Chain A
Amino acid sequence: MAILSKPNVPQFSVDVYQNEYLPEGGREVNAIVTVTSTGGGTTGGHPMPGAAAGSGSTAGAGVVIMVDCSGSMEYPPTKMRNARDATAVAIDAIRDGVAFAVIGGTHVAREVYPANGGLAVADPATRAQAKQALRRLTAGGGTAIGTWLRLADKLLSSGDAAIRHGILLTDGRNEHEKPEELQSALDTCAGRFTCDARGVGTDWEVKELTGIASALLGSVDIVADPAGLAADFQAMMEKAMGKEVADVSLRLWTPQGSEIVFVKQVAPAVEDLTARRSEAGPRAGDYPTGSWGDESRDYHVCVRVPNAGVGQEMLAARMSLVLPQPDGTPQVLAQGLVRALWTDDMAASTRINPQVAHYTGQAELAQAIQQGLEARKSGDMDGATAKLGRAVQLASALGNEDTAKLLAKVVDVVDAPSGTVRLKARVADADEMTLETRSTKTVRVKK
Chain B
Amino acid sequence: MPPLPESARAAQSAPPALCPNCADPLDADDRFCGSCGHDLAAPVPAPAPVPAAQAPPAAPPAPAAERPEEGPATDAFVLAPPKPAGAAQEAGGETLALGVALPGARLSDPREEPPAPEGPVCVACGLGGVDDDGYCEHCGHAQPRQRDHQEQELEGVAAVSDRGLRHHRNEDAFAVATASLPDGTPAVAAVVCDGVSTAYRPDDASAAASTAGRESLLASLERGTPAEDAMRAALMSAFEAVTALAAEEEPPGGVPHHNAPACTCVSAVVTGPVFTVGWIGDSRAYWIPDDRTLPASRLTEDDSWAARMVSAGLMSEAEAYADERAHAITGWLGADAIEVDPHVAAFQPEGPGVIVVCTDGLWNYAESAAEMAEAIPADARVRPLHSARTLLGVALDGGGHDNVTVAVLPFPAAVSRAGFPSA
Which residues of A line the B interface, CB within 8 A?
15, 254-258, 283, 305-306, 308-316, 337, 339, 341-345
Any A CB within 8 A of the CB of B32: no
Q: Which residue of B lies closest to A254 (CB)?
A: B140
The one of B139, B165, B169 that contacts A257, using a Cβ cutoff of 8 Å: B139
Q: Which of B142, B166, B169, B197 contacts A315 (CB 8 A)?
A: B142
Question: Is there an interface contact between A256 and B139, defined as CB atoms closer than 8 Å?
Answer: yes
* B164 interfacial by beta-carbon distance below 8 Å: yes
Q: How far is the CA of A343 from the CA of B136 in the complex (A)?
A: 20
Pairs A–B under 8 Å by Cβ, sample size 17:
A256-B139, A306-B139, A310-B165, A311-B166, A312-B141, A313-B141, A313-B142, A313-B169, A314-B142, A315-B133, A315-B136, A315-B142, A337-B133, A337-B135, A343-B166, A343-B167, A344-B166
Residues of A contacting B169 in the complex (Cβ-Cβ under 8 angstroms):
313
* Number of interface residues, chain B, beta carbon within 8 A: 21
Chain A nearest Cβ from B319, distance in angstroms: 24
| A315, B165: Cβ atoms closer than 8 Å | no
Q: Interface 1/0s, chain B 140-181, versus A by CB < 8 A?
A: 111000000000000000000001111111000000000000
**In the complex, per-residue mask of B106-130: 1 if CB is within 8 Å of any chain A CB, else 0:** 0000000000000000000101100
Would you list which residues of chain B between 375 and 409 have a CB under 8 Å from chain A? Answer: 401
Pick from B135, B136, B140, B168: contact of A342, CB below 8 A: B168
A interface majority secondary structure: loop
Minimum CB–CB distance for B112 against chain A, Å: 10
> Mask for B24-64, Cβ within 8 A of A = 1, else 0?
00000000000000000000000000000000000000000
Flag whether B92 is at the interface (Cβ < 8 A): no
B401 nearest in chain A by CB position? A344
Q: Which of A311, A316, A341 contacts B140 (CB 8 A)?
A: A316
List of A residues within 8 angstroms of B166 by Cβ: 310-311, 343-344
Bound-complex Cα distance A342 to B197 (A): 15
Q: Do residues B163 and A305 form an inter-chain contact, with CB atoms below 8 A?
A: no
Counting chain A CB atoms within 10 Å of each CB, the highest count among B136, B164, B253 belongs to B253
With a cutoff of 8 Å between Cβ atoms, the chain A residues found around residue B308 in the complex are none
Q: In the bound complex, what is the Cα–Cα distance between A316 and B164 (angstroms)?
A: 22
B83 at the interface (CB under 8 A from A): no
Contacts A311-B163, A314-B135, A315-B133 hold; do A305 and B140 have CB atoms under 8 A apart?
Answer: yes
A306 → B minimal CB distance (Å): 8
Contact A312 B168 (CB under 8 A): yes
- State the Cβ distance, B133 to closest chain A Cβ, in Å: 6
CB distance from B46 to the nearest CB of A (A): 15
A308 to B142, CA, bound (A): 11
Q: A312 near B140 (CB under 8 angstroms)?
A: no
Q: Which residues of B contact A316 (CB under 8 A)?
A: 140
Chain B residues whose CB sits within 8 angstroms of the CB of A315 once the complex forms:
133, 135-136, 140-142
Give Cα A283 to B197, complex, Å. Answer: 34
Which residues of chain B come closer than 8 Å to A15, judged between CB atoms?
253
Is B138 positioned at the interface, with any CB of A under 8 Å from its CB?
yes
- The docked-state distance in angstroms from the alpha carbon of A15 to that of B252 is 10
User: Which residue of B is nearest A257, CB measured?
Assistant: B139
Specify the chain A residue showing the minimal Cβ separation from B164.
A311
Task: Enumerate the 8 nearest inter-chain pairs by beta-carbon distance, A residue then B residue, closest first.
Answer: A255-B140, A313-B142, A315-B135, A315-B140, A311-B166, A314-B140, A313-B168, A341-B168
Given the interface pairs A311-B163, A315-B133, A315-B135, the reply to whether A258 lies near B168 with Cβ below 8 Å is: no
Cα A309 to Cα B112 with chains together (Å): 12
The distance from the CB of A162 to the nearest CB of chain B, in whole angstroms, is 30
